[in-house]
């Protein structure tokens, strides 16, 4: 071998998978040895990286923003200048045509909220709306009102209006009937502070907003700079002016040279009500859109009135009573699991009931889980094929299995993160050899698998 | 060989009934059903966030995740079902990540971080994971690569995707992928060797 090693050969040697010819070449070629050393260093660095992701609260924030956008209409892919110019031209045209017959405009906005936040402590507790009547609204920085739904995170400094709204923080639940607000300053964009048992909160205004979950942080302003000190947890800093985000993990101390960006906000007294125990994050949003309007909803003995409204609850088992107008009350238990919204509907009438095979119960699924866990080594062997190609390979995939009534796997598919083709083929073949507890009828199951490389 | 001694694990999580999320959800989303969008997000947000790791900086992950799903919702009508939905979603994810990089490089937060003074520990031979400071440095180096090079490097060397699949996702040919990978690796090696905290990884052991 006279030429130097190719890129692939360098990596092969660096991984210790070379043959005698390659080894002999490397031994005789100083340049190739240096290349292999570089490849080894790179492989070590990349192999030692831990993938990062978002926490549950961040995922919920994204979901809330997405749903708001979907319901209000997705942002246009057109350039921003076009979005400004076209409405202006259209408005000018309308003015020219309509101006002579102009009538007094009627704006259907909620009544102006009352300011109710007062400065105090040094930590921040976000509030989550756990109950929101259909007319619940919050005022954005641009002064426009948008709907508030259960599950929406509400920061201090945001004006709210609703006929009924329950906000839950880690330490306090606020509830009010009639016009209600957590702050009266529409221009206040930073909500940093704590809602303590006495019902006080600190609000700072500025172009940077800081939010956090179960964390303690302090914002300090000196003559020349602003300091953010995160004692525990992590805090998300969102810069309104540049639309940049940054997650700051504890312990950390950040300072801004341009101290002018943060200003002390206006603050007033907060009216607090002792409410039910605040749910632990993450709450689960109940999707009530399937219930007919006017259905009475009661959960764990607490009545919430008639639909439509939105509701969020802490995960776990809850007793639900639903009373549609003119129909008997239906009672049952529901199991709320964090993450996806729970669709709460009425049980079908006997005549509407699906005549197909019944779904397996939780116990049957638990038996299948046990079966799968026992047979994990077979699946791991397939994962190791991928690891062989890429020592840092990891991810989460879903094994989609069509399981016969007797428990044998009829079909198998691999979905989710992309994995190596050899590993996917192996998983499919292996899945078909799995023996599972009978489910009573043919079922399609989705089995999440988390693939984690071990330490070497 | 060393990797055979690993204790790689496959964690089986509770199985769920499949009909909750299936082709019908995509069809409903294509028809503009808002609740179907919510279901798609609930089913795929974690997977998309994992795929975005290292393609975009940590600080941008939340925004880019949102951009990915906005793009999904906006263009789902064009999804013809010729490939699996997750394959199409992966393609959207990679393209949005590349586009976001261009958008976000214009303005970055002007934050001066006080990194506490620490004694740099030597990596132990039995521990392959990097210290948080080294991890941050490698992440920063990855972000110094051009988005084309970084995307190929992350997909191939970190996500273990085959070069042919990468070429398909990026609408290019395998030769281009291999060329970008070659230069991305060399550039990363050069950057890491120039970083005092990472240089020791490149020292040749006798």
Neighbours of B36 (CB within 10 A): 20
Q: Which residues of B142-176 are buried (b: 16+ CB within 10 A; e: fewer)?
A: bbebebbbbbbbbbbbbbbbbbebbbbbbeeeeee
How far from the centroid of its chain's Cα atoms is residue A387's Cα?
A: 30
| A50 chain-B contacts, CB cut-off 8 A | 129-130, 135
Other CB atoms within a 10 A radius of the CB of residue B181 amount to 20
C-beta atoms surrounding A410 within 10 Å: 11
Assess whether pLDDT exceeds 90 at residue B197: no
DSSP-based three-state secondary structure for B201: helix
Please answer whether residues A130 and A280 qualify as being in contact, where contact means their C-beta atoms are separated by less than 8 angstroms: no
Asked whether the beta carbons of A191 and A203 are under 8 A apart, the reply is: yes
Model confidence band, residue A166 (pLDDT cutoffs 50, 70, 90): low
Residue in chain B nearest A50 by alpha carbon: B129
- Give how far B6 is from chain A: nearest CA, Å: 5
The whole-angstrom separation of Cα A165 and Cα A272 is: 13
CA of B108 to nearest chain A CA: how many angstroms apart?
A: 7
Which residues make beta-bridge pairs with A239? Answer: A208, A244
pLDDT of the residue at B35: 80
- Which pLDDT does position A212 carry in this prediction? 53
Q: Quick one: pLDDT at residue A364?
A: 74
Q: Give the pLDDT confidence score for residue B182 in this predicted structure.
A: 92
Query: pLDDT tens across A4-19, in order?
Result: 788 888 888 888 877 8
Q: Is A325 on the interface with B (CB under 8 A)?
A: no
Q: Is A74's CB within 8 Å of B70's CB?
A: yes
Residue with tokens 């009909």: B19
SS (H, E, C) A45-102: HHHCCCCCCCCHHHHHHHHHHHHHHHHHCCCCCCCHHHHHHHHHHHHHHHHHHHHHHC
- Each residue's pLDDT tens digit, A31-40: 888 888 888 8
Residue of A386, A448, A455 with shortest CB distance to B126: A455
Cβ of A41 and B46 within 8 Å?
no
Asked if B109 lies within 8 A of A446 by C-beta distance, the reply is no
Question: Do the chains contact at A419 and B63, CB–CB below 8 Å?
Answer: no
- Answer whether B161 touches A (CB < 8 Å): yes
Q: Is the pLDDT of residue B116 over 50?
A: no
C-alpha to C-alpha distance for A169 and A127, rounded to whole angstroms: 4
Measured distance CA(A270)–CA(A111) in Å, rounded: 18
Report the C-alpha gap between B89 and B71 in whole angstroms: 10
Q: Are B74 and B67 in contact (CB under 8 A)?
A: no
Q: Which token pair is A454? A: 């071990």
Q: Note the pLDDT of residue A361.
A: 61
Q: In chain B, which residues have their Cβ closer than 8 Å to the Cβ of A254?
A: 111-114
- The percentage of chain A sitting over the pLDDT mark of 70, rounded to a whole number, equals 52
pLDDT tens digits for range B184-193: 999 999 999 8
Residue A364 · residue A439 · CB < 8 Å:
yes
pLDDT digits (tens, 9 = 90+) for A278-316: 444 456 778 787 788 888 888 877 777 788 887 877 777
Per-residue pLDDT, B205: 60
Min Cα separation B28/chain A (Å): 14
**pLDDT of B128:** 61
Is residue B73 over pLDDT 70?
yes
Q: What is the mean pLDDT of residues A425-452?
A: 81
For every residue of B29-61, DSSP letters joined together read HHTT-HHHHHHHHHHHHHHHHHHHBTTB-GGGH
As beta bridge partners, residue A413 has A400
Confirm whether pTM is higher than 0.80: no
For residues A368 and B15, the answer to whether their CB atoms sit within 8 Å is yes
By C-alpha distance, which of A274, A364, A282, A366 is closest to A316? A282
| Chain B hits for A417, Cβ within 8 Å | 47, 50-51, 159
Lowest-pLDDT range, A52-56, A165-169, A325-329, B153-157? A165-169
Q: Under DSSP, is residue B16 helix (H, G, I), strand (E, B) or coil?
A: strand
Strands (DSSP E) contained in A307-387 are 309-313, 316-323, 330-336, 342-343
Nearest to A234 by CA among A208, A213, A220, A219: A213
B60 → closest Cβ in A63, A245, A255: A245
Please report residues of B whose CB lies closer than 8 A to that of A451: 8-10
Strand partners, A399: A414, A447
* B135: closest CA of chain A, how far (Å): 6
A446: enclosing H helix or E strand = strand A443-452
- Interface contact B189, partner A, CB < 8 A: yes
Quick one: what percent of chain A has pLDDT higher than 90? 0
pLDDT digit string, tens, across residues A232-267: 666 666 665 556 666 777 777 766 544 333 333 222
Answer whether residue A177 shows pLDDT above 50: no
pLDDT of residue B184: 94
Give yes or no for a cis peptide into A282 (omega within 30° of 0): yes
Contact at CB, B53 and A51, closer than 8 angstroms: yes
- SS3 category, A139: strand
Q: Is the pLDDT of residue A205 over 70?
A: no
pLDDT confidence band for B7 (50 / 70 / 90): low
The token pair at A54 is 């978002």
Distance from CA of A198 to the nearest CA of B (A): 34
Residue contact A247–B58, C-beta within 8 A: yes
CB A419 within 8 A of CB A395: yes
Inter-chain contact B8–A384, Cβ cutoff 8 Å? Answer: yes
Q: How far is B203 from chain A (nearest CA, A)?
A: 7
Tokens of A429: 């073949």
Torsion-angle region of B81 (φ positive above 0: left; ψ -120 to 50: alpha; else: beta): left
Task: Please tell me the predicted confidence (pLDDT) of residue A167.
Answer: 60
> Among partner residues B13, B62, B111, which is closest to A256 by beta-carbon distance?
B111
- Please give the pLDDT value at position A375: 84
Q: What beta strand segments (E) does A268-373 contain?
A: 284-287, 296-299, 302-306, 309-313, 316-323, 330-336, 342-343
Note whether B177 and B166 are within 8 A (CB). Answer: yes
Q: Cβ(A390)–Cβ(A417) under 8 Å?
A: no
pLDDT at A49 over 50: yes
Note the pLDDT of residue A273: 26
pLDDT at A81 over 50: no
Determine how β-strand A316-323 pairs with β-strand A330-336: antiparallel
Residue B164 near residue B181 (C-beta atoms within 8 A): no
pLDDT tens digits, one per residue of B123-172: 444 556 677 788 888 888 998 999 899 999 999 888 888 888 889 889 88
CB contact A388 to B (< 8 Å):
yes
Alpha-carbon distance of A65 to A46, in angstroms, equals: 34
pLDDT classification of A449: cutoffs 50, 70, 90: confident
- Tokens describing residue A423: 């590993």
Q: Residue B183: its pLDDT value, please?
A: 93
CA distance A451 to B96: 26
Tell me what the mean pLDDT of segment A109-137 comes to.
Answer: 48
Looking at every residue in chain B, the average pLDDT score rounds to 78
Task: Provide the token pair at A9.
Answer: 């050969």
**CB < 8 Å from A in window 63-92 of B:** 63, 65-66, 69-70, 73-74, 84, 86, 90
Contact status of A288 with chain B (Cβ, < 8 Å): no
**Under 8 Å between Cβ of B65 and A62:** yes
Higher pLDDT, B52 or A454: B52
In whole angstroms, give the CA distance from residue A190 to residue A231.
Answer: 19
Closest CA to A387 of A418, A423, A413: A423
Among B15, B54, B104, B129, the residue to mutate for chain A (most A Cβ within 10 A)? B15
| Confidence band, pLDDT 50/70/90 cuts, at residue A194 | very low
Helices (DSSP H) in B77-201: which residue ranges? 85-104, 132-144, 147-153, 163-169, 174-193
A62/B58 CB distance under 8 A: no
Q: Mark yes or no for CB contact B162/A421 under 8 Å.
A: yes
Residue contact B192–A257, C-beta within 8 A: no
What burial letters (b/e) apply to B40-57, b meaning 16+ CB within 10 Å? bbbbbbbbbbbbbbbbbb
A312 vs B98, residue with greater confidence:
B98
Predicted pLDDT at A74: 61
The pLDDT of residue A324: 84
Q: Do B107 and A417 touch (CB under 8 A)?
A: no
Average pLDDT over chain A reads 64
CA A55 to chain centre: 7
Q: Which two tokens stand for residue B14?
A: 């509770």
> Is the CB of B47 less than 8 angstroms away from the CB of A396?
yes
Question: What mean pLDDT comes out for the span A220-230?
Answer: 55
Distance from CA of B133 to the nearest CA of A (A): 11
């Amino acid at each position: 071998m006279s030429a130097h090693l190719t890129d692939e050969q360098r990596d092969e040697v660096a991984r210790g998978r070379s043959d005698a010819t390659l080894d002999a070449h490397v031994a005789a070629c100083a340049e190739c040895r240096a290349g292999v050393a570089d490849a080894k260093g790179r492989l070590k660095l990349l192999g030692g990286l831990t993938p990062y992701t978002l926490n549950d609260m961040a995922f919920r924030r994204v979901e809330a923003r997405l749903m708001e956008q979907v319901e209000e209409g997705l942002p246009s892919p057109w350039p921003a200048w076009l979005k400004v110019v076209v409405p202006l031209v259209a408005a000018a045209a309308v003015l020219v045509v309509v101006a002579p017959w102009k009538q007094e405009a009627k704006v259907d906005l909620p009544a102006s909220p009352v300011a109710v936040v007062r400065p105090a402590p040094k930590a921040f507790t976000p509030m989550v709306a756990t109950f929101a009547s259909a007319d619940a609204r919050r005022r954005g920085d641009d002064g426009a009102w948008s709907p508030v739904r259960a599950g929406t995170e509400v920061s201090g400094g945001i004006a709210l209006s609703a006929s009924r709204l329950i906000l839950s923080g880690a330490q306090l639940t606020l509830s009010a009937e009639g016009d209600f607000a957590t702050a009266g300053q529409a221009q206040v964009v930073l909500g940093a502070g704590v809602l303590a048992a006495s019902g006080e909160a600190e609000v700072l205004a500025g172009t940077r907003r800081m939010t956090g979950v179960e964390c303690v942080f302090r914002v300090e302003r000196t003559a020349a700079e602003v300091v953010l000190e995160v004692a525990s947890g992590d805090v998300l800093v969102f810069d309104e002016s540049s639309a940049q985000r940054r997650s700051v993990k504890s312990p950390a101390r950040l300072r801004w040279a341009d101290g002018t960006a943060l200003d002390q906000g206006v603050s007033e007294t907060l009216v607090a009500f002792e409410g039910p125990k605040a749910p632990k994050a993450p709450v689960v949003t109940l999707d009530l859109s399937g219930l007919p309007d006017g259905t009475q909803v009661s959960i764990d003995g607490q009545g919430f009135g008639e639909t439509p409204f939105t509701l969020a609850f802490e995960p776990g088992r809850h007793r639900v009573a639903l009373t549609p107008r003119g129909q008997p009350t239906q009672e049952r238990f529901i199991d709320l699991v964090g993450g996806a919204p729970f669709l709460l509907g009425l049980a079908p009438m006997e005549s509407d009931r699906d005549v197909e095979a019944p779904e397996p119960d939780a116990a049957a699924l638990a038996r299948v889980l046990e079966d799968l866990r026992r047979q994990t080594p077979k699946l791991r062997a397939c994962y190791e094929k991928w690891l062989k190609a890429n020592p840092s390979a990891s991810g989460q995939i879903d094994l989609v299995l069509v399981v016969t009534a007797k428990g044998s796997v009829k079909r198998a598919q691999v979905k989710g993160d992309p994995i190596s083709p050899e590993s996917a083929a192996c998983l499919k073949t292996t899945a078909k050899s799995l023996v599972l507890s009978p489910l009573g009828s043919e079922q399609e199951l989705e089995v999440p698998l988390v693939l984690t490389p071990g330490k070497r | 060989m060393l990797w055979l001694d690993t204790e790689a694990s496959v964690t089986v999580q509770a199985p769920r009934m499949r009909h909750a999320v299936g082709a019908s959800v995509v069809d409903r989303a294509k028809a503009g059903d808002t609740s179907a969008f919510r279901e798609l997000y609930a089913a795929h947000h974690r997977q998309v966030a994992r795929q975005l790791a290292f393609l975009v900086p940590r600080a941008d992950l939340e925004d880019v995740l949102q951009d990915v799903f906005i793009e999904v919702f906006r263009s789902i009508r064009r999804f013809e079902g010729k490939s699996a939905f997750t394959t199409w979603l992966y393609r959207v994810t990679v393209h949005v990540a590349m586009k976001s990089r261009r958008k976000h490089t214009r303005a970055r937060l002007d934050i001066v971080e006080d990194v506490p003074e620490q004694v740099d520990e030597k990596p132990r031979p039995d521990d392959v994971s990097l210290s948080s400071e080294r991890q941050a440095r490698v992440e920063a180096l990855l972000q110094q690569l051009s988005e084309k090079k970084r995307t190929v490097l992350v997909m191939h060397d970190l996500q273990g995707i085959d070069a042919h699949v990468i070429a398909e996702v990026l609408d290019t040919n395998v030769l281009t992928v291999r060329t970008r990978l070659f230069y991305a690796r060399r550039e990363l090696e050069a950057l890491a060797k120039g970083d005092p905290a990472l240089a020791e990884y490149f020292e040749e052991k006798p």
